[in-house]
Amino acid sequence: MLLAFGILHLALTHATRRHHRSHDVTNYIYIEGPVDVVLHWASPASPIDYLELPIPTLKVGALGTHKALGLAKAKGARFVLASTSEVYGDPLEHPQKETYWGNVNPIGPRGVYDEAKRFAEAITTAYHRYHGLDTKIVRIFNTYGPRMRLNDGRAVPAFMSQALRGEDVTIFGSGKQTRSFTYITDLVEGVIRLMESKVNDPVNIGNPHEMTIEEIARTIIRMSGSKSKLVYRPLPVDDPKVRQPDITRARTLLSWEPKVGLEEGLTKTLDYFRRKVDVADRA
C-alpha cells in the first residue's frame, strides 16, 4: 500500500483498488493492513497560502510530520518527505548544495513555511538515526506544469494568467532576482528515483538552469502572443534574491537530471492555462 498525504487528504492505493479519505494529518493516523511507503506532501506551498494560514502551515510541518513518521515507523515503511529549496532561505551560497545550512529569518513572514520544513527535515532525520527508519528528503525547487491554479500566486501561473488575459504582468522587485524552473514530470521522476534508492541524506531536485524573474515573464509573454506590459511592485519581505540547485548529488546517486526544456514545458503549461482562463472567463 502506498500512502500520500495532502493537507487534509489521505489517498490510499492497494492493488487495483483506490480509496480516498479525508484526514487531518496533524492528528493520529491509523491505517489497517501493510504499508510500503508513506509520502508526506502536506503543506501549503504558495506564499499566498502560507501567509494566510501561518499556524496551520507550522502545525502540518511539525505535528503532521510527526504523525506521518509515526505511521511509517509502526508499519516499517519507507518515508518520503517533500521538503523545499526554501530551507536555504535567502542564500549566501550560490548555487545551493545540500550541505548548505541556509540563511533563514525565523520570525519573518516567510519563516512559517521555511522553519516548518526545516523542523520537518530535523525530525525526519532524527527518526532515521534513532529508530532506523528508511527516510528520504527531497528538496524541491520551483516546479511548474499543468493543473496549477490560476490564482496560485507563484511566478509561472501568475504570469500566464495575466498574459493570457492581456493584463499587466506583475514583477515584484527589480525582476533581477533569479529562479530555476523544473517541469513537473522531471520532478516526479526524481522523487521516484529517490524513493526507490538507498539514499537517506537530503537531495536537491530542481533544474540548474537559472534565469531572472524578468526573463521568465518576458518569455511567457512572447510565447503566449500577449501584448501585456511589465509592471513593477515592491519586493516582499525576505524574498530570496537567488535560487539555483546544485544537483551533483542527484546526478551521482540517482542518475537523475531534468530532461524537459523550458520552452517545451511552458508550451504544455500554456495550453492548459489557455483552457482554464477560457473556462473561468466564461463562467
Task: Catalogue all structural domains in the chain, each as residue range(s) with its CATH number.
Answer: 1-140 (3.40.50.720)
Beta bridge mates, 40: 5, 81
- Give ∠ CA 93-94-95 in degrees, rounded to 5: 125
Q: Which residues are catalytic?
A: 113
Q: For 35-44, b where at least 16 C-beta lie within 10 A, e where not — what string?
A: bebbbbbbbb
Q: Give the three cell numbers for residue 44.
A: 501549503
* Spatial distance between the Cα atoms of 73 and 69, rounded to a whole number of angstroms: 6
Write the single-letter amino acid at 9: H
Q: What is the mean pLDDT of residues 240-265?
A: 97
Q: What are the pLDDT digits (tens) for 26-39?
A: 999 988 899 999 99
Q: What residues pair up with 82 in beta bridges, in sequence order? A: 138
DSSP string, 60-79: IIIIIHHHHHHHHHHHT-EE
H helix or E strand, kind and range, residue 18: strand 17-22
**C-alpha span between 176 and 171 (Å, rounded):** 10
Question: What are the tens digits of pLDDT across the range 183-194?
Answer: 999 999 999 999
Q: What is the pLDDT of residues 136-167, one digit of tens each?
A: 999 999 999 999 999 999 999 999 999 999 99
